[in-house]
Structure formats: C-alpha cells, structure tokens
C-alpha cells in the first residue's frame, strides 16, 4: 500500500510545487494591486520558453550542462526584469481603481498579445529541454524510486514559501507591501511610494510565474497553450485558498496537485476536471475559499 | 511661488461634488505655531479642506502653498514628504501590526531610505518609536496589534503615526470623535503636550466646542464650502452668524 501511495504523493507534491509558484504570484499581485491578472499564466509559459531555449542553447554550445540549473533561475529573472516593470507601467497601471470588467478586458487583451508573441518568437512546435532532470537522475529510498528533480521542485517550493514569508514579515519592502495591501490611503499619507510598491509587487508576481514555468521545462514539453492551461489551474488554487493568501496558496496547491495525480492514477477521465471539482466543493462550503474572508487584504 | 510668509496658504480654492460646493473660493493662511480648529456642520467642507491640503482631492480652481511653494498638483505621498501629515476621522492604522511596528513603518517611510531588504526593526527606529510612545503614553500597548486597541488608544496611535513623520503641519480630522467625554480631554491633553514638545503646527477638525474653546488659539468656521468666520475662539463663538448658522446646526 505504502509503495503505491508514496510515489503518488511525491508526484502530487511536485505538481503542486509548480502550480504554487504561479498561484502565489497571482495572489500577491491581486493583494497589492487588486487586479485579477488574466495574463499571469503567460508569464509562466514565457518563463518556460525562455528557460527551454536557454537550456538548448547551453547544450548546443557545448557548455557545462550543469549550467542549466542557474539558467532556469536566470530565465525567470530575465522575464521578470524585462516584462514586469514595462507591462505594469505601460498597461496595468491604467486599470488601477477601475472596474473589474476593465481590468479583466485589459489583462485578457494582454494575454492574447503575449500568446501570439510567443508563437511568433518561439514557433508552434513543442520544445523539450530536460537536461536538468536527466542530470539529477533518480534515487532509491526504501525500494521506491524517485525522480530527484521532483524532490528538488518540492524543496524549492518550500524555500520560496519560507522566503516569501520572511520577506513579507521581516524586510522593509515586505512591511511596505503589507502596509499598502492593508491601506493604500494611509500608506500614501505616510509618504510611501505606492506606485513603486505596485511595480515591485507586479514584477515579483511575474518572477514567480516565470520561475514556475522555467522549473517546469525539464518535466514537460513547452508548447502553445501552456499559459492558458496554467492560468486556469492557478485561478483554481487561488480560489480554493481565498485570494490574497500566501500560505493558503501553498495548501491549496497541494490539494490540487494531489487531486490531479490521484485522478490520473485512479480515474484518468477526471484528470482535467479534478482541480475544478475540488474548487467547486470548497467554494460551495466556504464561498471565500479555505483561508479567505470578505476582506482579501491579508498576505 | 507665493510671497506670503505663512506655513500653509490656500488661494481661491474651489471644489464641488455633483454641484454641491465643498470649497467655494476659499483663501486662508495657517501660520507657524498656530493651533487652529475648524468647525462647521456635517457636509460643510471641513474634511474636504484637509483632503485638498494633503493631495487626496485636487481643487477645480485655486492653489495650495506650503511655505510659499505650490503643492496643489503633488500626490499625497509627496505632500507628506514635504511635511504635511494627517490623521483620519476613523483611525487608519495597519491593524495586523503592533503599535511599535506601525510607528517604525512611519519612521522608515519618513527616512525614505531605499534599503528594501534590510529589516524594518532597526535599533534607531525602535528607540524613536519607544520615545514617541512614551510621549503619548502608549508604552503599555507597544506590542499590541493596533486592531485590538480600544477606540481612544487607536485615536492616539493614529495621531502618533502622523507625528512620527515629524511634520511641519499636522492635520487632525476629529481627533476625539467616538471616545468618551473623559477620554476626549485626556487625548487632547496628551496631544497638546506632544505638539508643544515637537513644536508642530496643527489644524484640527472638531465637533466638540468645549475641546475647541479649551485648546484652539484660532477658529475657522466652515459653512457650505466657505469660511464664514475666522478668529479667536471667544470672538468667533460670539458671532451671531456663527451661532445661527453653525452652532445651532451642530
């Protein structure tokens, strides 16, 4: 029995780790900017494309394949640094304080633009760059074989969760973000540059999504449509947790990750809908999500 | 650039909301060291005036000057950095944080040092926050979350947050509303001591005339967006127009 369950749990947690990166970025952006960014999934797919391209270039250039690991992180950082401030300042900025319909339309428009841009830049064929997974190999613990890369993903997600908590609770930026989340008006009255905080939070959200995408490349082919698929999953996770919940996003990601894997193993026909069935049940019982409330300001 | 020597001056400001005038060609000055009360019926434009001075509402006409420099178009954060701090009618604090953390945040915002990844809890900030809490008597609740404080202490913490910015001008929107009559005078005494100690000029909106008589050295009377009386409390309170149109309506 244990032999059957443990690999399932590891699979589910590795899957949850990838969803967590995107969902926590989505929830962070929502908390600070109060915008449901429909284009958030595109940053995941762009992160994946950039990481896969960089990985393939590294191997093609005959460089040390272990450089693939820092390249994953570098890809996410590049995407965030280039796209985060630019998009926030030029497009997202104009939706602040406007109705949800405007925000959704603008970010949906952005999503469509980014999806087409990816097709133009990276083409429509799937890209595979699984060097990091191949390099790490497998481990056998208690007679069960694990993919080391999956264990790395789980560890990284835990590190990101702890890091985000530390960042928000203990650094000056984090305190400023919390202050802006709680009360923009007072933050402005104290002289806090809320514009800078918005840009920073948006860029951090882009980085987290792109990091999820970059880390996913060794486990899957990168193809058009990846962003949309991930976005819907991230929405489900954020809704289950309650928008604005960092730890909640982690718990919800684990629930969704495990639900998906259990569905794949036991009821394959339900694979695609399992996360949404979970979401439906959770929202029917807790309309604001497992950890949410009517006020979604806590992060 | 304005030529007068006032700390704050407004010239011909006009604001209306859906045809209702909240500021109707208002011109006035606040001088260094003044402790000025603004009184008037609800909806007369008192809070709008504070919002104009702090950049939350932009006038449709006229200008606001701080020490002769125009600040009309500046966003609230820049006006705060120029030295105008404010408290709100309903205490606005970061309720998930302790009183000390709230104050340290305010101090850090004032310092404006871009050291984002360093801890907020620095010894010099902590010492300054503790000093401020001692000044207003909040030491006992330093570690309490502001969301758990009773209304009187929340009011005091709210004003202290503004004081932590070391403002040249402090605008207080009903600093004693929602607290008992006894607490009202305690808060005002504490506040006055802190303001005198820090040599801060203040402007406060107030509905309690006993508080105004006791603490204000100048009173501005607001009525439908206009200042209808301006002077010493005893003079203003004896004004027939004030008695008829404002005090009778309060």
* Structural domains of chain A ordered from first start: 2-123+144-285 (1.10.3470)
Written as one string, the DSSP assignment of B63-114 is EEEETTEE-TTS-HHHHHHHTEEEE-SS----TTSBHHHHHHHHHHHHHT--
Q: Provide the pLDDT for residue B238.
A: 86
Asked if A190's CB is within 8 angstroms of B161's CB, the reply is yes
Domains belonging to chain B, first-starting first, are: 1-74+202-250 (3.40.50.300)
Contact A126, A226 (CB under 8 A): no
Q: Residue B18 pLDDT more than 90? A: no
Q: Chain B contact for A140, CB < 8 A?
A: no
Report, as an integer, the average pLDDT of B126-152: 90
Asked if A192's CB is within 8 angstroms of B77's CB, the reply is yes
Contact B79, B170 (CB under 8 A): no
> Mutating which of A177, A178, A179, A189 best tests the B interface, going by the most B Cβ atoms within 10 A?
A189
Q: Chain A contact for B125, CB < 8 A?
A: no
As a whole number of angstroms, the distance between CA A4 and CA B184 comes to: 68
Q: Could you give the strand order of the β-sheet that contains B201-205, starting from the edge strand earlier in sequence?
A: B84-87, B169-173, B201-205, B35-40, B218-223, B226-231
**Bridge partner residues of B171 (DSSP):** B86, B203
Q: Provide the pLDDT for residue A188.
A: 85
As a whole number of angstroms, the distance between CA B128 and CA B132 comes to: 6
Q: Which of B54, B101, B119 sits opposite A189 (nearest CB)?
A: B54
Q: Chain B contact for A176, CB < 8 A?
A: yes
As a whole number of angstroms, the distance between CA A40 and CA A24 comes to: 11
Q: Which of A173, A182, A193 sits opposite B96 (nearest CB)?
A: A182
Asked if A175's CB is within 8 angstroms of B109's CB, the reply is no
Phi first, then psi, for residue B112 (nearest 5°) are 60, 20
Query: B97: which chain A residues are within 8 Å (Cβ-Cβ)?
Result: 175, 178
As a whole number of angstroms, the distance between CA A120 and CA A114 comes to: 10
Q: Chain B contact for A179, CB < 8 A?
A: yes
Q: Chain B contact for A96, CB < 8 A?
A: no
Question: Is residue B155 classed exposed, middle or buried when 0-12, 13-18 and 19+ CB atoms within 10 A define those classes?
Answer: buried
Q: Provide the pLDDT for residue B96.
A: 79
As a whole number of angstroms, the distance between CA A39 and CA A199 comes to: 16
Query: B78: which chain A residues are within 8 Å (Cβ-Cβ)?
Result: 191
Q: Which residue of A has its CA nearest to B120?
A: A172
Q: What does each of the 299 residues of chain A score in pLDDT, given as a tens digit?
A: 666 788 888 889 999 999 999 999 999 898 888 888 999 999 999 999 999 999 999 999 999 999 999 999 999 999 999 999 999 999 998 888 788 889 999 999 999 999 999 999 999 889 999 899 999 999 887 778 889 999 999 999 999 999 998 888 888 788 888 888 888 888 888 888 888 889 999 999 999 999 999 999 999 889 988 888 888 999 999 999 987 778 899 999 999 999 988 898 888 888 889 999 999 999 999 988 888 765 545 55
3-state secondary structure of B33: coil
Written as one string, the DSSP assignment of chain A is -HHHHHHHHHHHHHHHHHHHHHHHHHHHHHHHH----TTHHHHHHHHHHHHHHHHHHHHHTT--GGGHHHHHHHHHHHHHHHHHHHHHHHTGGGGTTS-HHHHHHHHHHHHHHHHHHHHHHH-SS-B---HHHHHH-EEEETTEEEEHHHHHHHHHHHHHHHHHHHHHHHBHHHHHHHHHHH-HHHHHHTT--HHHHHHHHHHHHHHHHHHHHHHHGGGS-B-TTHHHHHHHHHHHHHHHH-TT-HHHHHHHHHHHHHHHHHHHHH-GGGTTTHHHHHHHHHHHH-TT-SS--SS----
Asked if A191's CB is within 8 angstroms of B77's CB, the reply is yes
Q: Which two tokens stand for residue B213?
A: 């008589």
Q: Residue B130 pLDDT more than 90? A: yes
Contact B173, B86 (CB under 8 A): yes
Q: Which residue of B has its CA nearest to A171?
A: B119
Q: Residue B114 pLDDT more than 80? A: no
Residue whose pair of structure tokens reads 């809070």 in the numeric block: B47
As a whole number of angstroms, the distance between CA B8 and CA A139 comes to: 72
As a whole number of angstroms, the distance between CA A215 and CA B137 comes to: 53
Question: What residues contact B58, with CB distance under 8 A and at least 6 apart?
Answer: B52, B72, B73
ipTM value for the complex = 0.73
B 34-63 residues with CB below 8 A of A? 54, 56
The beta-carbon contacts of B46-49 under 8 Å, at least 24 apart in sequence, are B46/B173, B46/B205, B46/B222, B47/B89, B47/B173, B47/B205, B48/B15, B48/B22, B48/B23, B48/B225, B49/B10, B49/B22, B49/B23, B49/B222
Query: A295: which chain B residues are within 8 Å (Cβ-Cβ)?
Result: none
* Pairing mode, strands B218-223 and B226-231: antiparallel
């Amino acid at each position: 029995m244990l032999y059957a369950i443990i690999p399932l749990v590891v699979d589910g947690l590795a899957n949850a780790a990838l969803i967590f990166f995107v969902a926590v970025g989505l929830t962070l952006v929502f908390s600070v900017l109060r915008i449901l960014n429909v284009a958030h999934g595109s940053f995941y797919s762009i992160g994946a494309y950039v990481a896969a391209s960089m990985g393939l270039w590294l191997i093609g250039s005959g460089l040390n394949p272990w450089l693939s690991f820092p390249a994953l992180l570098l890809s996410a950082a590049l995407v965030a640094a280039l796209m985060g401030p630019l998009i926030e300042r030029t497009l997202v900025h104009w939706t602040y304080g406007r109705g949800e319909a405007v925000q959704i339309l603008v970010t949906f428009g952005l999503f469509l633009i980014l999806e087409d841009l990816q097709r133009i830049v990276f083409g429509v064929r799937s890209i595979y760059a699984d060097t990091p997974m191949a390099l790490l190999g497998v481990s056998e613990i208690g007679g069960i074989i694990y993919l080391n890369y999956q264990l790395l993903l789980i560890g990284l997600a835990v590190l990101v969760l702890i890091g985000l908590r530390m960042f928000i609770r203990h650094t000056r930026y984090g305190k400023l973000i919390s202050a802006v989340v709680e009360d923009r008006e007072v933050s402005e009255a104290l002289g806090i540059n809320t514009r800078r905080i918005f840009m920073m939070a948006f860029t951090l959200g882009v980085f987290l999504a792109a990091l999820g995408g970059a880390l996913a490349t060794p486990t899957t082919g990168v193809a058009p449509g990846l962003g949309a698929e991930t976005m819907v999953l991230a929405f489900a996770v954020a809704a289950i947790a309650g928008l604005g919940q960092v730890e909640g996003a982690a718990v919800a990601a684990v629930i969704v990750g495990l639900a998906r894997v259990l569905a794949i193993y036991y009821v394959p026909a339900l694979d695609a809908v399992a996360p949404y069935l979970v979401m439906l049940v959770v929202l029917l019982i807790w309309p604001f999500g497992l950890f949410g409330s009517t006020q979604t300001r806590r992060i | 650039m304005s030529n007068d020597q006032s700390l704050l001056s407004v010239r011909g400001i006009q604001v209306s909301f859906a045809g209702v005038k909240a500021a109707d060609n208002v011109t006035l000055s606040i001088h260094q060291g003044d402790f000025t009360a603004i009184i008037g019926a609800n909806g007369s434009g008192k809070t709008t005036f504070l919002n104009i001075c702090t950049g939350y509402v932009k006038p449709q006409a006229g200008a606001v000057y701080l020490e002769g420099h125009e600040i009309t178009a500046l966003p609230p954060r820049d006006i705060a950095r120029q030295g105008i701090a404010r408290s709100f009618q309903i205490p606005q604090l970061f309720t998930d944080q302790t009183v000390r953390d709230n104050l340290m945040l305010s101090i850090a915002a004032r310092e404006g040092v871009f050291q984002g990844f360093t801890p907020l809890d620095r010894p010099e900030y902590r010492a300054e926050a503790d000093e401020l809490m001692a000044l207003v008597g909040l030491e006992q609740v330093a570690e309490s979350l502001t969301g758990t404080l009773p209304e009187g202490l929340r009011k005091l913490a709210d004003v202290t947050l503004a004081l932590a910015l070391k403002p040249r001008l402090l605008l207080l929107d009903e600093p004693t509303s929602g607290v008992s009559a006894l607490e009202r005078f305690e808060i005002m005494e504490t506040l006055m001591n802190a303001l005198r100690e820090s040599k801060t000029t203040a402007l406060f909106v107030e509905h309690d005339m006993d508080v105004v008589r006791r603490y204000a050295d100048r009173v501005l009377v607001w009525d439908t967006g206009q200042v209808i009386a301006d002077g010493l409390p005893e003079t203003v309170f004896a004004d027939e127009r004030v008695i008829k149109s404002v005090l009778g309506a309060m």
